Amino acid sequence: MPESGDRVRLHYTGRFPDGTVFDSSDGRDPIEFEVGSGEIIPGLDKAVLAMSEGKTETVTVEPEDAYGQWEEALVHKVERSQLPEEATEGAALEAEVNGQKAILWVTEIGDDTATVDANHPLAGKTLVFDVELVEVLAA
């Protein structure tokens, strides 16, 4: 079993409780990360600590251990002119908010205004992951 500080390689399929897949490493190399470093969501990071190399587990991750709760305060209406001309609904924009870089998702574009959302698209959602611990690489 891996320990905090070990690097691991993991295959995964992320889905919502209704079975709709939102991401997968299928057809790609496994993701590699350092356990306990905050490189992935906390719920998966913790789950990996209880897994053995070569084993597959299904892990349900609540919003608190994933991308947090969705917050209305992170949704803002802005003047359309503040967005790049080529911006479209669904686009991710990098912006500086209170001196820090943030990703804003364009959720609506009107003639004069647009709505941007600084919540992660998966905020507030329970996520289910089928994970296979492919390899544990010692720290």
Give the residue extent of every domain in the chain: 7-67+122-137, 72-117
3-state secondary structure of 84: coil
Q: Is residue 64 within 8 Å of residue 41, measured between CB atoms? A: no
How far apart are the C-alpha atoms of 117 and 96, rounded to whole Å? 13
Q: Which fold has domain 7-67+122-137?
A: Chitinase A; domain 3 (3.10.50)
- Buried/exposed code over 11-32 (b: 16+ C-beta within 10 A; e: otherwise): bbbbbeeeeeeeeebeeeebbe
Q: What CA–CA distance (Å, rounded) separates 57 from 85? A: 45
Alpha helices in the chain (DSSP H): 42-48
Non-local CB neighbours of 108 within 8 Å, separated by 6+ positions? 89, 114, 115
Structure confidence by residue, pLDDT tens digits, 47-97: 999 999 999 999 999 999 999 999 999 999 999 999 998 999 999 999 887
Q: pLDDT tens digits for 94-113?
A: 988 778 888 999 999 999 99
Q: Which CATH class is domain 72-117?
A: mainly beta
Q: How confident is the model at residue 139 (pLDDT cuts 50, 70, 90)?
A: low
Tokens of 16: 């919502």
Alpha-carbon distance 41 to 108, whole Å?
A: 28
Same fold, 7-67+122-137 and 72-117: no
66: phi > 0 → left, psi -120 to 50 → alpha, else beta; which? alpha
